[in-house]
Chains A and B, each alone.
Chain A
Amino acid sequence: MSEVLRCENLVKRYGNQLNALNGINLSLESGKIVGLLGPNGSGKTTLIKIINGLLTPTLGKVLIDGHEPGVETKKLVAYLPDNSYLNSWMTIQQIVDYFADFYADFRPDLALSMLERLDIRPNMRLKTLSKGNKEKVCLILVMSRNAKLYVLDEPIAGVDPAARDYVISTIINNYNPDATVLISTHLISDIEEILDRVLFLKSGNIVLDQSVDEIREEHGKSVDELFREVFRW
């Protein structure tokens, strides 16, 4: 098992305000599904954006498979942002071609066959799809890459329970055992069964970093129940 992601004393400050990230130390190994859990404003998306090179840290550093975020790491990281960046006038085929142009590890046949199973055809335009289907298209594109690190920002926000099951089985079915999946969410009970490990983020600090079965053993409660306890106000 190798280390896929490493954060060392990572700090992010926006202007003169409080630190969005307050010295994060973290090491993720390959082959794990990790939940990044925290209430709104705890720093989840900031951390994810730094991992993807969309923000630069104020202090400290991030290493992905030994590289700082940049051109090299874009080849290694498959990122599902919390809002879609695809043009709505594009057809499914165009979007698939677009992804194939960008990422050498993208498998267009796999993406098209997964879309086909949802009755989403190549000639359909993105704007004609329902909100839930748009989100599934984005997830399918990301999971069709053969990446080292998958970073999914709120993949289950705003989907119905059936769609949620679809999202979960798509993640389980498509990540390869050498890769790591980092999933951010505040909907813990929906996703906790598929996690190996959780990170609780609170006001820019990691307040818990533990395997989920250890949590259940130690506390005799589900991750969701523990979360509610830690973040009670």
Chain B
Amino acid sequence: MVWTLNKKHPLCPQIYEQICVGIAKGEFQPGERLMSVREVAVAAGVNPNTVQKAFEALEQDGILHSVRGSGWYAGEDTAKAREVLQKIIAEKTAAYFNEMDALGLAPEAVKLYVKEWNQ
């Protein structure tokens, strides 16, 4: 798993989102054991407390669950993780259309660009 974090924004929610994306994309299978908090901290280059906080929030939302003395596991139900991924996609799409709007392009024109780019 590659971690891309933006230092301009709080890191904890970014870890939360990236775990959700990992689950939604099937990088982590339901029930699969995740890296430990410390391993994630080292891999992502962040503070273990930040990872711990993100994992706890993920547990509260039913995306991960922890087993005392064993570690963290991806939850059986991936619906919530996929929902988070959908939200990220929607946000990024909106941001893109807003940027294009600032350049003076109507959504219809932007869609043409996207189509062209795709081919």
Contact = CB atoms under 8 A, between A and B. Distances in A.
Contact of A177 (B9, B12, B42, B48): B48
B14 to A, nearest CB: 10
A168 B42 CA distance: 8
A224 B7 CA distance: 9
B84 interface: no
Interface of A is mostly: helix
Nearest to A218: B10
Interface in A181-232: 189, 192-196, 212-213, 216-217, 220-225
Most buried by B among A165, A173, A194, A224: A194
Contacts, number: 53
A172 interface: yes
A169 interface: yes
Contact of A213 (B11, B38, B41, B44): B11
Contacts of A196: 47, 49-50
B46 A216 contact: no
A57 to B, nearest CB: 30
Interface residues of A, number: 25
Contacts of A172: 38, 41-42, 47-48
B10 A216 contact: yes
Interface string A83-101: 0000000000000000000
A52 B114 CA distance: 61
Interface of A: 31-33, 165, 168-169, 172-173, 177, 189, 192-196, 212-213, 216-217, 220-225
Interface of B: 5, 7-12, 38, 41-42, 44-50
Given A165-B45, A189-B7, A194-B45, 10 more contacts: A33-B47, A168-B45, A172-B47, A213-B10, A216-B8, A216-B11, A220-B8, A223-B7, A224-B7, A225-B8
